[in-house]
Amino acid sequence: MRIRVVTLNLEQALKRWEARCQLIVEEIGRLMPDIIAFNEVSLPVQSARWLRNETRRSGIEYNLVQQTRVNGLSKVEGEALLTRFPVIETDNLDYQARDMVALAARVLVGDMPFDVYVTHLYMSRGEDSLRLFQVQQLLAWIDAHDEVPARIVCGDFNARLDAPSAALMASRFRPTQTSPTAFTPLADHNGSVSHPYWPRMDRCIDYIWISGAIEIVASGVCFNHASPDDPSLWPSDHAGVWADLECNSVP
């Protein structure tokens, strides 16, 4: 069975969300994904729930799984998953570092259960040692779950593949692509551009990782075009990733 997976960092509800959210809805309607992973969903505006409701106009009904960050950020942002497939069970991980979390959902694709993970690791300008610590925790947590035929891990890892944290992830999982995803020239109301200290779209830090009985059919970058009416308005400060995957039955 072939499925389409998408991941995107939403940049909470910052930088003209009221305008750029429509670009996100339009791109979801174009891609028609089966699974969407979101980082930095905004809890005050319930952006993941709003996007789920808006995409119903495209004819897709999604189940929503959401996990808030912890401590002081528990009312600010979180991770989320939209899926067309039935959700069998869910789980969450508190990294106990920088209030960051991961969520897991076991979904049923036909008669095949597999696990989807969504996470967001420590910021790009921070030390990779903390991201490495988080990946070590993430992999140990994944290993603690019951065996399933396949696993997908999505999210903003804030590290190129040559960083120790992403390299450790790549020792266990296969990235669907390595094309640049960050950072777009999204501008705020006052004209200030996101992440002024980084070049534009020069690094791959957002990933769909796969393992087990899944094959990559096609993949690429999405949410990577500005509004036709405003070159400073982008869906987010990151581009996203899409992947078409073949889920193979296991005897």
DSSP 139-155: HHHHHHSPP-SEEEEEE
Amino acid identity, residue 184?
Answer: T
CA distance 43 to 40: 9
pLDDT recorded at residue 250:
57
Strand partners of residue 4: 244
Indicate the pLDDT class of residue 162, thresholds 50, 70 and 90: very high
Rg of the chain over Cα atoms, rounded to whole angstroms, equals 17
Q: Averaged over 223-231, what is the pLDDT?
A: 98
pLDDT digit string, tens, across residues 137-158: 999 999 999 889 999 999 999 9
pLDDT recorded at residue 147:
83
99: phi > 0 → left, psi -120 to 50 → alpha, else beta; which? left
Fold annotation for 2-247: Deoxyribonuclease I; Chain A (3.60.10)
Global pTM reads 0.97
pLDDT recorded at residue 27:
97
DSSP 51-62: HHHHHGGGT---
CA distance 251 to 229: 52
- The SS3 assignment for 191 reads coil
Backbone dihedral angles phi then psi of residue 209, each to the nearest 5 degrees: -100, 140
- Among 163, 175, 218, 226, residue whose Cα is nearest residue 200: 226
C-alpha torsion sign, points 191, 192, 195, 199? positive
C-alpha torsion sign, points 4, 166, 235, 91? positive
